[in-house]
Amino acid sequence: MEKLYGEQTKLAEENFRLGARKVNKELIYAMVEVKKAASMTYQKLLPEKKELYQAMETACDLVLQGIKNGQIEGVPYADVFVTDALQGGAGTSTHMNVNEVLATLTQKELCKLHGVSEPGASEQVHPLDDVNRGQSTNDVYPTALRIAAIQKLRELSEECAKLQTALQEKENQYDGVKKLGRTELMDAVPITLGMEFGSYAQSVARDRWRLYKVEERLRQTNLGGTAVGTGIGSDHKYQALVIEYLRDITGIGLARSEYPMDMTQNQDVFVEVSGLLKALAVNLMKIANDLRLMNSGPDGGFGEIRLAKMQAGSTIMPGKVNPVMTEMTMQVSMKVMANDSAITMAAAHGEFELNAFLPLIADCLLESLELLTSTVRLFREKCVKTLEAREERCKRLLEGSNAFFTEYTKELGYDKVAKMIEEKMLWKN
């Protein structure tokens, strides 16, 4: 099978043969979008090389379409972009993989244009001198990560909106179902089941708003800053024009940072985004665990709601049903929290003018975004929308509790009501 990449990618494939997982597709896709913007820019700035950069733009389109289809020029995607997600060099290996693939495909396009099967001197395309002109891993990689993160944030925000709506529907549906409120897992005061779902909806609404707002900071990019943000090796006209093309290609309101060196050195914005994902994970875990507890039993636990049966719950206990969707949601939340810790440590190790650990940040951040997007959707579809209230059970637990006594505290005083409860419990036992 033909290899579309070159020697530097082969070395990276060998050096970082971890066998865990490859670089996230969305990061590769965004990186190729950056390269397409560069090719369009140089068509304008370098008329003597217009033919080359037109061919490169075509090559970019072939790769972008191929990523969606799973094959690039007849070669499976997995055999084209081969670097492991975790790699030394601040992402240089992934960037070189993209440069070499685009150089190969651009050369093929030039050969087609000139009607030759083998490249001559005019068809030789260099992955660095041509494809990477005026660029560095240190501005291309973080720019691509910002683009990929924004796209995924938008998807997650939309799923959060749908979950919020589903919770509000349950709030309205069960507004009249009275039940026992609990604090510290102990009987408290009367509430309604609808109130609980209304509170859950509010927490998700805050998550949705936070994720929407943080996109503003991701739109700032250091593209054109090259190695350390000073723009060395990059033309000022290129720096201005490439952002305009990238905005058009991605549909995102990107802007070049006024201080690119800051964005090359510091990756705190990704820590901020990850922190908001962690906040969402915290709320999801709380909601999932509450539903898990309310579903418990059904006879030996609370049993106030009934979660839909998704699958058999035991290989030995017939009829047992487990709250599998809540358990999945809680595990994903734990994973997102773990990813946040990794992102925090990686960002803190950005010594001097570059963060060498950006591949770990990218891998964890994009994984968290993807996991949460799928989890929020599945939790909504297979748990929230399908659950049912056990109204008689809610009523029985409430009426058998001391929850109503609190209402008399204002008139009778705390001590007298406490004494009444004590006497009731003695009589009951």
pLDDT at 117 over 80: no
- Confidence at residue 85, expressed as pLDDT on a 0 to 100 scale: 97
What are the tens digits of pLDDT across the range 70-82?
A: 999 999 999 999 9
Taking CA atoms, 374 is separated from 12, 287, 371, 380, in Å, by 31, 16, 5, 10
Q: Is the pLDDT of residue 1 over 80?
A: no
**In terms of pLDDT, which residue wins out, 115 or 221?**
221
- Whether the per-residue pLDDT at 291 is higher than 70: the answer is yes
Length of the chain: 429
Residue 119 preceded by cis peptide, ω within 30:
no
Which of 153, 150, 192 lies closest to 172, judged by CA?
A: 192
Reduced 3-state DSSP string for 204-258: HHHHHHHHHHHHHHHCEECCCCCCCCCCCCCCHHHHHHHHHHHHHHHCCCCEECC
Write down the mean pLDDT value for the chain.
Answer: 95
Structure tokens at 82: 């081969």
- Are the CB atoms for 93 and 87 separated by under 8 Å? yes
Tell me the three state secondary structure of residue 394.
helix
- Which of 39, 122, 314, 401 is the catalytic position? 314
Placement of tokens 């490249």 in the chain: 119
**DSSP 8-state assignment for residue 281:** H
pLDDT at 122 exceeding the cut of 70 = no
pLDDT of residue 415: 92
Bridge-based pairing of strands 220-221 and 255-256 is parallel
Residue type, 203: S
pLDDT tens-digit series, residues 415-425: 998 898 888 87
Catalytic residue flag (residue 314): yes
Confidence of residue 115 (pLDDT cuts 50, 70, 90): confident
pLDDT score at 214: 96
Q: What is the pLDDT of residue 121?
A: 64
d(CA 144, CA 34): 7
pLDDT of residue 429: 62
For strands 305-306 and 388-389, give the pairing: antiparallel
Domains in the chain and their CATH numbers?
A: 7-123 (1.10.275.10), 137-394 (1.20.200.10), 403-428 (no CATH)
pLDDT in the model for residue 379: 98
* Confidence at residue 123, expressed as pLDDT on a 0 to 100 scale: 67
Residue 46: beta bridge partners? none
Percent of the chain with pLDDT over 70: 98
pLDDT tens-digit series, residues 22-81: 999 999 999 999 999 999 999 999 999 999 999 999 999 999 999 999 999 999 999 999
The phi, psi pair for 256, rounded to 5°, reads: -75, 130
pLDDT at residue 140 tops 70: yes
Confidence of residue 316 (pLDDT cuts 50, 70, 90): very high
User: Which residues have CB under 8 Å from 269's CB, separation 6+?
Assistant: 217, 218, 220
Asked whether the CA dihedral 32, 34, 35, 40 is positive or negative, the reply is: positive
8 A C-beta contact, residue 264 and residue 221? no
The two most distant CA atoms of the chain are separated, in Å, by 100
CA angle 384, 338, 26 (to 5 degrees): 75
In 3D space, the residue among 81, 135, 78 whose CA is nearest the CA of residue 105 turns out to be 81
Q: What is the mean pLDDT of residues 7-18?
A: 95
Calculate mean pLDDT across residues 311-339.
Answer: 95
Output DSSP code: residue 403.
G
pLDDT of residue 423: 82
pLDDT at 149 over 90: yes
Q: Where are the beta strands (DSSP E) in 61-113?
A: 71-72, 75-76
- Per-residue confidence band for 20, with pLDDT thresholds at 50, 70 and 90: confident
367-415 pLDDT per residue, tens: 999 999 999 999 999 999 999 999 999 999 999 999 888 888 889 999 9
d(CA 7, CA 16): 14
| Coil, strand or helix at 187 | strand
**Eight-class DSSP state of 319:** T
Distance separating alpha carbons of residues 271 and 347, to the nearest angstrom:
7
Mean pLDDT of the 152-176 span:
98
Q: How far apart are CA 118 and CA 84, in angstroms?
A: 32
Q: How far apart are CA 26 and CA 137, in angstroms?
A: 17
